[in-house]
């Protein structure tokens, strides 16, 4: 009797899981919840973070130290707008606008995720100033497939 095949990577199924991980990142940011921020970042994979106007940070210690400082300060809330998931192999790249303090400012961001222990974990975040979108993003109905 053959052994069951291991679950295959299914982009359609994983897309929602990636968007959920992306939401967790922004929720942790807006709630200034350092433990949640710590959990969403990968522990095994190499990580890097490019905060707006900062030197490039590589390595988990430097990245988490930056978040500890940012989340203990007067950081704005940040919400992802119109996130798009691009799968590059089994890595997920999310690009999205970030609405800061409910639209008082805007950034554009790249968030990269890989799977660790069955969960999507962040390996890279870069954000930088972006123009205000031309029009409010329309509500997106759930996709049927």
Q: Which DSSP state fits 76?
A: P
Rounded-to-integer distance, Cα 60 and Cα 43, Å: 7
Give residue 78's Cα distance to chain centre.
11
Q: Which residue has the tokens 């970030």?
A: 98
Give the range of 21-29, 60-68, 71-79, 131-139 binding a copy of itself by CB under 8 A. Answer: 131-139
Give the range of 18-26, 28-36, 60-68, 94-102 binding a copy of itself by CB under 8 A. Answer: 94-102
Q: Which DSSP state fits 133?
A: P
Nearer to a copy of itself, 79 or 112 (CB): 112
Q: What tokens appear for 54 in the block?
A: 């900062």
Rounded-to-integer distance, Cα 132 and Cα 100, Å: 11
* Minimum distance of a copy of itself from residue 93's CB (angstroms): 5
Q: Decide: is 17 part of the binding site for a copy of itself (CB under 8 A).
A: no
Q: Decide: is 112 part of the binding site for a copy of itself (CB under 8 A).
A: yes
* Minimum distance of a copy of itself from residue 115's CB (angstroms): 8
Q: What tokens appear for 19 in the block?
A: 């968007």
Chain residues that interact with a copy of itself, rule: CB under 8 A: 45-48, 50, 52-56, 58, 84, 86-91, 93, 95-97, 108-110, 112, 114, 123-124, 126-131, 133-134
């Amino acid at each position: 009797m053959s052994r069951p095949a291991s679950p295959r990577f299914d982009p359609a199924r994983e897309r929602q899981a990636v968007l959920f991980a992306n939401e967790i990142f922004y929720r942790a940011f807006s709630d200034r919840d350092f433990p949640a921020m710590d959990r969403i970042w990968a522990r095994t994979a190499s990580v890097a973070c490019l905060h707006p106007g900062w030197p490039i940070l590589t390595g988990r210690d430097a990245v988490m130290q930056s978040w500890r400082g940012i989340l203990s300060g007067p950081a704005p809330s940040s919400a992802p707008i119109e996130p798009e998931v691009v799968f590059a192999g089994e890595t997920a790249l999310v690009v999205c606008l970030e609405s800061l303090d409910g639209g008082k400012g805007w950034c554009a961001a790249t968030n990269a995720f890989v799977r660790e222990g069955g969960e999507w974990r962040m390996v890279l975040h870069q954000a930088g100033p972006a123009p205000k979108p031309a029009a409010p993003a329309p509500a997106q109905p759930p996709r049927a497939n």
